[in-house]
Amino acid sequence: MTPSPLSHDEQAIGQGYRENFDRFNEVLHATKYDRFLRFFNFGYAPLEGEEHYGPPLGRNYPNRDSALLLFQVVGEADLTGATVLEVGCGRGGNLGLLMEHYDVGRVFGTDIAFNSMAYCTDRYPAERARFFQADAQFVPVRTGSVDAVLNVESSGCYPDVERFFRDVSRVLRPGGWFLYADLMARTFVDRYREVFTALGLDVVGEKDVTPNVAESRRLRAERQRLAFGDGKAPEGMEEWVGADGSTLNDVLTGGKGAYHVFRCRRSDREADPAQQFTDEERGEMTLSAAEGVELLRLGAPGA
């Protein structure tokens, strides 16, 4: 199935996200926090009595809550020696953790923001990691060439997420892992599972971690105000950090949104060539992606 070109509206959404995240990187580069902030994700906080995946990390480990989110997404997947592609890799924190703790092979990161890719290229060893700018809906990677695709809290920015899922199915080797997590409308969780199955991606593990992400936002809000706003809490910062009263906080705590983790394996089945999401569902997703551009712009440091 040859994907159709992006519409003008879809291109505009992508351009909006590219500009927002490039601006975030520019502001961060001018602060003393720049070298420590490797993640843009919302993080994960274990609730009382909960065990979590991954190696133990000290309380003062930089970006500890974001690292715990990555460990939750990987779960029990064996990535020893794996060639890993992260789509929407941001500042490369997840791939850095995989190289540090999971004995992976080569890693490749792609993101729509040029400044994020410049940061990654400067920070991570070239002999193990490569980074390139690309649109997640057109992943420029050979068919059947990677052992794992990682995508954390990025796909909500894509106006045509099914196009991305099809590319995941295409680039994975049989038996390869799709390690995926994002905030989505709760009504879409079952549909995502159905679409994965139709595209040859068998769900072998999943978990709703919405309460953990909401708790991470609560614990982290003040710290991020300091990092991004230099303590001045500029207008709109509450939206970016997910403070009480923000749209993000309402989505995480009001029952409308689900922050869901899916771990899938690529089967030997061919992907169903038929469109899986309905036109109405696709319209809702495109609208949601467009709204996300405006929310990020509202809360953008330096806006």
Rg of the chain, C-alpha, whole Å: 18
Which class is domain 8-299?
Answer: alpha beta
Percentage of residues in the chain having pLDDT higher than 90: 60
pLDDT number for residue 293:
81
**pLDDT at residue 296 greater than cutoff 80:** no
pLDDT number for residue 62:
82
**pLDDT at residue 246 greater than cutoff 70:** yes
pLDDT number for residue 302:
47
- Per-domain boundaries in the chain: 8-299
Can you tell me the distance from the alpha carbon of 88 to that of 91, in angstroms, rounded to the nearest whole number?
Answer: 9
Q: What is the mean pLDDT of residues 55-72?
A: 90
pLDDT number for residue 61:
85
pLDDT tens track for 107-157: 999 999 999 999 999 999 889 999 999 999 889 899 999 999 999 999 999
pLDDT tens track for 215-232: 998 887 766 666 555 545
**pLDDT at residue 260 greater than cutoff 60:** yes
| pTM of the complete model | 0.91
Neighbours of 278 (CB within 10 A): 10
Q: Print the SS3 string covering 48-97.
A: CCCCCCCCCCCCCCCCHHHHHHHHHHHCCCCCCCCCEEEECCCCCHHHHH
| Residue 82: band (very low, low, confident or very high) from pLDDT cuts 50, 70, 90 | very high
Can you tell me the distance from the alpha carbon of 34 to that of 39, in angstroms, rounded to the nearest whole number?
Answer: 11
pLDDT number for residue 238:
63
pLDDT number for residue 229:
52
Name the pairing type of β-strands 84-87 and 107-111.
Answer: parallel
pLDDT tens track for 143-186: 999 999 999 999 999 989 999 999 999 999 999 999 999 999 99
**pLDDT at residue 19 greater than cutoff 70:** yes
pLDDT number for residue 9:
84
Residue in 111, 117, 173 with CA at minimum distance from that of residue 142: 173
pLDDT tens track for 177-212: 999 999 999 999 999 999 999 999 999 999 999 999
